[in-house]
Amino acid sequence: VSRRAADATTASSRSRSSASRRTASADEARPRRTRAKRGQGDQLREQILDATYELLVETGDADRVSTRAVARRVGCSSPALYLHFPDRASLLWAACNRQFVKLGDVVRLAVEGIDDPIDALQAAGRAYITFGVEHAEEYRVMMMTPETVVWNPPIEDLPGEAGFDVLHQLIERAMADGALRDDDPSLVALSVWAAVHGIVALRIAKPSFDWPPLEDDIDRMIRLVTGGLAGSTGSS
Amino acid sequence: VSRRAADATTASSRSRSSASRRTASADEARPRRTRAKRGQGDQLREQILDATYELLVETGDADRVSTRAVARRVGCSSPALYLHFPDRASLLWAACNRQFVKLGDVVRLAVEGIDDPIDALQAAGRAYITFGVEHAEEYRVMMMTPETVVWNPPIEDLPGEAGFDVLHQLIERAMADGALRDDDPSLVALSVWAAVHGIVALRIAKPSFDWPPLEDDIDRMIRLVTGGLAGSTGSS
DNA sequence: TGTACATCAGTGAACGCGCGTTCACTGATGTAC
DNA sequence: TGTACATCAGTGAACGCGCGTTCACTGATGTAC
C-alpha cells in the first residue's frame, strides 16, 4: 500500500487481477474427458459451448472466461478448443448466441394466438424483458458489449434474434387496424425496442440499485408506451 | 491456423490479444514529464486523469486502458499512479466520473428557466440522450458495465450524477400541475429514465446498426413518453 | 484376410506477452535549531 | 548563516501471473487394395 493512497477502501476485483481469477476456479476437479469416437468429433464442440456458458453465468463477466478455464471445465486441453473455434471471441459469441436465439423464440411464442395487436405487443414486451433479466449475462454480452469485442456475425441478424422483427410486424398491423396512430413502423418499433431494452439494461448494469418489482416496472412501461402510441399527440 | 478452423475470417480483436494492444500504442513518443514543484503534487493526479480519459476515448474500451499505457501517456513511471490511486479500478472510475458528473450538470442546465414541466422534461431527455451518445465511452463505463468491475461509490449517488433527481422533481411537479396523470413519481421517473437510457445504450452497443437520425429518435421517444404519460389510460 | 495408409480427435510443451503491483531507493526542497 | 533532518514527488527494476495461440506430435479407427 502506497503512502498517500493508503486510505483507500477499494476491494479491487478487476478482471486482470490474479485475485479475481482465483474466484472463478472451482474447476480442475473435473475428470479428464475421454476421447470421442470416430464420427463424434462434434460432441466436444457442444461440451465446450456448455462449459463456456456455465462459466459465463458463474462469473457474470465474459472477461473472466478464459480459454484455459473452459478447457479445464470440459476436461480437455486448451488447444482442443481451436479444433472447433478459430479464436476466443468466436467461442464466446457462439456460446452466448446459442442461448440468445431463444429470445426471438420466446417472443414469438408469447405472441402466438393473440389476435389484438396491442395485447400482442404487451405480451411481446413482457416476454422480452423477463427473458433479458433472467438471462442477464448473455443479454449483457450480446446487447451491451461493444461490437468490436463480440459481434462477429452480420449486424442484420440482430433484429431477428432479438425478436425485433416480431415487434415490427405487430406495430405495422396495429397501425393498419387503427389501434396505433400512423407513423413509420420501423421507427416506432425502434423506440419501443429501446424502451424495453432500457429496463433490462439498467437492471443488469446496476443490480444493487433499489429497483421496484420487475412486474410493476413492466406494467408501467407497457402502459406508458402503448398509451403514448395510441393517444392523440402529446403536448408540444 | 488450426485445421478445421482454418476457414475462419474473424479478426480477433480481443482485449487480451497482443495484436489489439498494439493498436492502442501511439504513446511512447511523449516526452518525459518534469517533476512537479514541492506543493504541486496534485498536478500529476490531474494529468493521470486526463491521460486515462484520452485513452478511454481513443480505444473505446476500458479494458484496453492499462496502467502502463496511462503512465506512458503521462510521461511518468507506472508506480507513480499509485501515489494517487489505490488501484486501476479506482483510477478508471475516477476518470469516467469526472466527465460523468457533467451529465447531471448538463441536464440541470437544459432545464433551467423552463417553466412548463412537460417542456422541461423534453429538454432534459434531449440533453441526456445527446450527452450520452456524444460521450459514449464514459456512458458505457458508468452505465453499461457491471458494478463489480467499476462501481465503487455508493449506489445512491447514481441518481444525482445521472440527472435522475431532476427527472424526479419535474415529474412530481407535472403531476401536481395535472400535466401528468397521478402515479408514483419515482416509478414513473424510472420508466422514463429506462426509456431514455435505452436509446443511448442501444446506439452505443451497436453502432454499426442502421440507426435513424438521432434527432428523429429523440423526438419520437419524447412524444411517445410524454403522450403516454399525459393521455387517459391506453387500451388494456 | 492382411496390411499400408489416411484421417480423426485430440495432446503436451512452449512462446512471448503485457499486465497490476510492490519494493527499495533517490534527489530536490523546505524547516527547526 | 549553517546544517541536520524530514518530507515530497517521484523512479527503476523486478515479481509472478495467466493468458491466447502455435507447433509438432500421437494413438486409435476406418478404408483401399
Span B34-61, pLDDT tens digits:
999 888 889 999 999 999 999 998 888 8
Is residue B125 a contact partner of residue B225, using CB atoms and an 8 Å limit? yes
Which chain B residues 73-102 have CB under 7 A to strand D? 76-80, 83
| pLDDT at site B2 | 33
What cell does B172 get? 412530481
**Which nucleotide in the DNA or RNA is closest to residue B32, CA to C1'?**
D11
Residues near A181 by beta carbon (within 8 Å), at least 6 away in sequence: A175, A229, A230, A231, A232, A233
The whole-number Å distance from A40's CA to C1's C1' is 29
Residue B230: predicted pLDDT:
59
* Residues of chain B above pLDDT 70, percent: 80
Instruction: Report d(CA A143, CA A158) in Å as an integer.
Output: 9
CA of A226: which chain B residue's CA is closest?
B234
Q: Which of A91, A177, A190, A203 has the most B C-beta neighbours within 10 Å, making it the best mutation to test the interface with B?
A: A190
User: If you ran DSSP here, which 8-state letter would residue B51 be given?
Assistant: H
For residues A174 and A169, what is the distance between their CA atoms, to the nearest angstrom? 9
pLDDT of residue A86: 94
Per-residue pLDDT, averaged over B47-76, amounts to 93
Spatial contact of A146 and B140, defined as CB atoms under 8 Å apart: yes
Q: Among A209-213, B124-128, B152-156, B194-198, whose mean pLDDT is lowest?
A: B152-156
User: If pLDDT is split at 50, 70 and 90, which confidence band does B148 have?
Assistant: low
Above 90 in pLDDT, residue B25? no
Q: Within 7 A of a protein CB, which nucleotides of strand D?
A: 8-14, 17-24, 29-30
Could A86 and B5 be called an inter-chain contact, meaning their C-beta atoms sit closer than 8 Å? yes
Closest CA to A57 of A131, A138, A150, A144: A138
Would you say A137 and A201 are in contact if contact means Cβ atoms under 8 Å apart? Answer: no
CA of B102 to C1' of C17 (A): 38
What is the pLDDT at residue A232? 44
The rounded Cα A133 to chain-centroid distance in angstroms is 9
pLDDT of residue B29 exceeding 50: no
* Mean pLDDT, residues A87-104 taken together: 88
- What pLDDT does A230 receive? 59
Chain B touched by A64 (CB under 8 Å): no
**CA-CA-CA-CA dihedral for B150, B155, B159, B162, to nearest 10:** -10
- Is the pTM higher than 0.85? no
**Taking a contact as any Cβ pair under 8 Å apart, which residues of chain A between 27 and 46 contact chain B?**
none
Whether the CB of B16 is less than 7 Å away from nucleic strand D comes out as yes
Q: Does A10 touch chain B (CB under 8 A)?
A: yes
In Å, how far is A189's CA from the nearest CA of chain B? 11
User: Which one of A94-98, A157-161, B84-88 scores highest in mean pLDDT?
Assistant: B84-88
A32: nt with nearest C1' to CA: C11
Q: What is the Cα–Cα distance from B205 to A193, expressed in whole angstroms?
A: 14
For position A204, what pLDDT does the model report? 92
Q: At what angle do helices A164-177 and A117-134 cross, to 10 degrees?
A: 160
Average of per-residue pLDDT across A40-46:
92
More confident residue, B231 or A1: B231
Q: Measured between beta carbons, which residues in chain B are less than 8 angstroms from residue A144?
A: 144, 201, 205
Contact A187, B212 (CB under 8 A): yes
State residue A44's pLDDT score.
Answer: 96
Q: How many CA atoms lie within 13 A of A58 on its CB side?
A: 20
Q: Is the predicted pLDDT of residue A112 greater than 80, yes or no?
A: yes
